[in-house]
Every structure is written in C-alpha cells, then in structure tokens.
Chain A
Amino acid sequence: MVLLQILRKLKQKEKEVRILMLGLDNAGKTTIWKKFNGEDINTISPTLGFNIKSLDHNGFQLNIWDVGGQKSLRSYWRNYFESTDGLVWVVDSADKMRLEDCKSELHKLLQEERLSGATLLVFANKCDLPGALSAQEIKDALNLDEIKTHHWQIVWCSAMTGENLLDGIDWMITDIASRIFTLD
C-alpha cells in the first residue's frame, strides 16, 4: 500500500512505540514499570493518576504509560487509548478471587475502537508467589484463546525479580515493529 508506506515512514523515522499498561489495582503495573526503568521498587503505593517514561530500547523509543487501576480510575483509562501501539495487561497471578473481574475488564478494553490496532501482551505477574496460577491457567481463565481481533501473547513474569520482563516486552516490540515499521 503506497499510502501506508508514507505513513509507516513517518513513524519509522522516529521508531516511536507507545505502550499502555493497564490492569486491576494491585496487579503490579507500577512495579513492572519501575523495574523496567531500573528504579527502586520498594516504596510503591497505589498509583493515583499515571506515570510516563520514555526510554530507548533496542533502537526503539518506547513511551510507556502506567495508569492507575483502582476502580475509580478505570473510567479514565480511555483518555490514554489514542495511538497506542501496544497494550500490556498485567494480571496478579495469585489473585484468584478477582480473575472474573480481570477477564471482563480486559474483554471490555478489546472492544475499544481506539485500541483496535494494538498488540496485546498479558503479563501473568507475581508468578513467584506460592499458590500463583500458571500462565496456562490464566490464559484459560481469561479466555485469551477467544481473542481474534488482536495479536496477543501471555508471558509469566515476576516484577519483583524482573524475571521475564524483557522477554515479554521484546516479543511485543517485535510484533509491533513487524506491522508498523518496514523491517530492515
């Protein structure tokens, strides 16, 4: 597509990727965000509002948005949808009580037109906790196999130790890049 090539090149010059992190409260979004930025994670409290950070990673400029997940903040999520390339959905793997909640919030998001082009990465966080569900169990509980509208992947991780965070983000960037940027 000629036209898309023009558009792609516009973005390609900057190689800018906008990533939005959402999930229920206490899922570990800010911990992942801080860990990824190499910041201290011991004094994190529930996010009131949002955090934003731009960083260079593998030649891409990532703009990572971390938005608070408390119930009263979820209605503001839509203010952050615009031109999102990647959606990171963070799940507390040990929080079995609210998986149903977690599923419905996720599927609600996937209906959003402004997120329609975005790649979805599900982080099954806190997998190091005793009694945490496996990524496979989370995948089933959230009905991820039913998602046909987005490219998606589920990755287990631990924000506390940082395990698997890079693998997840790298998968996501590769997937986004293959659609937005013409591969070199």
Chain B
Amino acid sequence: METSNPKPTQSQLSEAFMVEFNKKKEELGQQIKELKAGASLNEHLTKISTEIQKLSKSLHDAAMFLPSYSIKIRQNEIRDLEKELRGREDELIPKKRFGFKSKAQAPTSNDVVNVATKESVKPVINASALGKSDNFFTIENVKQGTVRYTEDQLNGNDVMVKDSVDAVIILEGGPSTLRLANLKNCKLLCGPVRTSVFVDNVQESVLFLCCQQLRTHSSENVDIYLRVSSRAIIEDCKNIRFGPYNWNHEKSNDLHIKAGIAATLERYDAVDDFNWLSSTHSPNWCLIPSEEITEFNFS
C-alpha cells in the first residue's frame, strides 16, 4: 500500500488512537457485563482477556506519540477493565486458590543425620514443606564438635548446612550442589561439588570448597580455600580472603573426576565483587598471605 498522505502529526495520531481506544474499551466493558455462566464462559473469558491484552499492547505501541499523562489515564482504564473482568469471573466461577497444604507432612524421610534435632522444637521451613525431599540432605544445628559425612551419604544430593556454630563439618564429597547458611565460627571442608556452592550469611569461618561456581552473599571475615572451574562472586560481603584448595584425601582423585574438575586446577582468585563495579581492586576481598595459609588436616 502506498501512502501519499503527508506524515500525520503527533496530535492527529493521538486523536485517532483515542477514538479507537475508547471504542474498543466500551465494547469490552459491554462484553464483560454480558458475561453469563455456562459452558462457553471460559472461552469468553479468555477471549476478552486476550482483547484487553491487545488493547494494552496497542497502548504500549502508541506510547511514542501519546502524552505521558494520557498514557497514565489509559493504563488505569485498562486496569479497571481487568478488575471488572476478574470481579465478574469471581462472581461466575467459585475460586480455587493454590496453597501448600500441610497434608504432605512428608514423613521426614529427609535422610537427615541431624545432630541436634531433639532440642530444636521450632518447625524447620525447608524442602519438606514442599513435599519433596528425595535428594535433599540437610545438616543443621551443629553446636560445637566435629561431624562427618561420607561420600555414600552425600553422593548426588543437594546438601544444605545451616544454623551452626563453633563446629567442624567434614563433607567427604559428591554433593550435586552445596548451600551454606547462617554459620558462625565454623570450619567446613567439602570434597568436589559437581555444580555450584552458595554461601549465605557465614561469619568468622574457614571453608574449603571445590566447585564449578561459587556465590557468596552477606558474609564477613571468612577464609575460603577454593578451587573453582569458572568464577566466584561475592555480594554484600566484607573481608573475604581466598587461598588455594588443597585437600589430599585418598578418594580425592576419584571425586574430582566425578565432579568434572581437574584435581590439578589452581584457580582461586577469579573473583567478582558485585558491589564493586570499578576497575580498581575491591576492598571486600583479598588473597590469604602465603605465611597464613593453613592446610586442613583431617584423618
């Protein structure tokens, strides 16, 4: 189609748009009022909802020539239409709401070797709330002392270690992912993790981690001995120090192969601070001076 017309001005465009818009709006309003319960109700609802979306999209597209105040008003009108439609829908169809019902009180088959469960009375909001706990392994409330888990217990699981203080935690290997949350003054040693490690709110601790990717959030004063095959990031952290991961365990080689990480990889300084987007070095992390590097010895 060839247009020989001169280019329409903004106000002509916006006037033309308003005519169309109002017409459509009234049509839809009318249709909503005329909705009736019945077999084809759902179909009508979908149709009207689609039309409203189209109208909304047309407003979106017209934004280039409509005055912003006018856009605001039109948006409100569209919202009113949606509200009316939803109101009408609620009247005609009794509503089903989604919620987690407690029926799935998953028989705590969590395989949790729980050190201090007996004291912890308050309900734990974790995966079992979702009724799926098959590959979850939670270690929590370790207060003092040393706990140790073998590869057989952890293999392929999503392992979570949380709410622990003054503890030494040894995870011999094999988790699919590892999450650490709310740890204070802990030492944690973990064999190669297949995918990612997520550290959240850990204070005054020492971690030995080998993984594909490490994310550390909201933590302070933590030494991380790291072997990472892509990169590590920190966010909302202070005084995090990184050093090389060196854990010579008899199964170490096997576990590295399973995790797909080279046992010879020396990569611990590939760190991005998401709160420090400048090209100068972030003040929130540094390397552990060589004289302070400790080898974690466990037998």
Residues of A near any B CB (own CB < 8 A): 1-4, 7-8, 11, 25-26, 43-46, 48, 68, 70-73, 83, 94, 96-97, 99, 113-114, 116-117, 129-131, 133, 137, 140-141, 143, 145-146, 148-151, 179-180
Beyond contacts A46-B215, A70-B215, A117-B61: 13 other A-B pairs, Cβ-Cβ < 8 A, are: A1-B24, A3-B17, A44-B213, A45-B213, A45-B230, A45-B231, A45-B270, A72-B236, A72-B275, A113-B75, A130-B134, A148-B85, A149-B82
Contact assessment for A45 and B272 in the assembled complex, using a CB-CB cutoff below 8 Å: yes
B25 contacts chain A at the CB level, 8 A cutoff: no
Q: Which residue numbers of B lie inside 8 Å of A, CB to CB?
A: 13, 16-17, 20, 24, 49-50, 53-54, 56-62, 75, 78, 82, 85-86, 98, 126-127, 130, 132, 134-136, 156, 158, 160, 176-177, 179, 196, 198, 213, 215, 217, 229-233, 235-236, 270, 272, 274-275, 277
How many whole Å from A172's CB to the nearest CB in chain B?
A: 14
Q: Is the CB of B58 within 8 A of A1?
A: yes
Contact of B158 among A70, A94, A114, A150 (CB under 8 A): A94
A85 to B281, CA, bound (A): 38
The answer to whether B233 touches A141, judged by C-beta atoms less than 8 angstroms apart, is no
Q: Chain B nearest CB: distance from A5 CB in Å?
A: 9
Which residues on B sit within 8 Å (CB–CB) of A143?
A: 98
- Looking at the complex, which one of B85, B196, B274 makes contact with A26 (CB distance below 8 Å)? B196
Residues of the A chain whose Cβ atoms lie less than 8 Å from the Cβ of B135: 130-131
Contact B272 A148 (CB under 8 A): no
Q: Which of A116, A133, A148 contacts B60 (CB 8 A)?
A: A116
Known: A26-B198, A45-B233, A131-B158. A117 touches B53 (CB 8 A): yes
CA of A2 to CA of B17, assembled, Å: 9
Q: How far is the CA of A53 from the CA of B122 in the complex (A)?
A: 49
* 22 examples of A-B residue contacts, CB within 8 angstroms: A1-B20, A3-B62, A4-B20, A4-B58, A26-B196, A45-B230, A46-B231, A46-B272, A48-B233, A48-B277, A70-B215, A70-B235, A73-B274, A94-B177, A96-B130, A97-B126, A116-B56, A116-B75, A130-B156, A146-B98, A151-B53, A179-B54
Q: In the docked arrangement, what's the CA distance between A83 and B64, Å?
A: 10
| List of A residues within 8 angstroms of B49 by Cβ | 148
Docked-complex contact B86 and A148, CB < 8 angstroms = yes
B158–A179 touching, CB < 8 Å: no
**CA–CA, A25 to B158, complex, Å?**
17
Query: Are A43 and B230 in contact, CB atoms less than 8 angstroms apart?
Result: yes
Cross-chain contact A48 with B272 (CB below 8 angstroms)? yes
B231 to chain A: which residues have CB within 8 Å?
Answer: 45-46
Shortest distance between the CB of B88 and any CB in chain A (Å): 12
In order of increasing CB-CB distance, the 10 nearest A-B pairs are: A45-B231, A131-B135, A117-B57, A117-B60, A45-B230, A72-B274, A46-B233, A1-B20, A96-B127, A130-B135
Contact check, A97 vs B179: say whether CB atoms are below 8 A apart. Answer: yes
- In the bound assembly, the distance between CA atoms of A173 and B283 in angstroms comes to 45
Collect the chain B residues with CB atoms within 8 Å of residue A114's CB. Answer: 60
* Given known contacts A45-B213, A133-B130, A70 and B274 CB-to-CB distance under 8 angstroms: yes
How many Å from the CB of A28 to the closest CB on chain B? 10
Residues of A within 8 A of B78 (CB): 116
A149 to B55, CA, bound (A): 11
Closest B residue by C-beta to A71: B235
Set of chain A residues within 8 Å of B50, measured between Cβ atoms: 151
Complex alpha-carbon distance, A68 and B272, angstroms: 13
Bound form: Cα–Cα A11–B59 in Å: 15
Given contacts A7-B62, A45-B230, A133-B132, whether A149 and B53 have CB atoms under 8 Å apart is yes
> Given the complex of chains A and B, what is the CA–CA distance between A164 and B59 in angstroms?
33
State whether B235 touches A26 (Cβ < 8 A): no
C-alpha gap A70/B126 in the complex (Å): 22
Please indicate the chain B residues that have their CB under 8 angstroms from the CB of A25 in the complex: 215
CB within 8 Å for A145 and B274 given contacts A46-B215, A71-B235, A116-B75: no
B235 touches A4 (CB 8 A): no
- Complex partner residue of B134 from A3, A7, A11, A131, CB under 8 angstroms: A131
Please, which residues of chain A bring their CB within 8 A of the CB of B13? 3
Chain B contacts of A46 at CB under 8 A?
Answer: 213, 215, 231, 233, 272, 274
Inter-subunit contact B16/A3 (CB<8 Å): yes
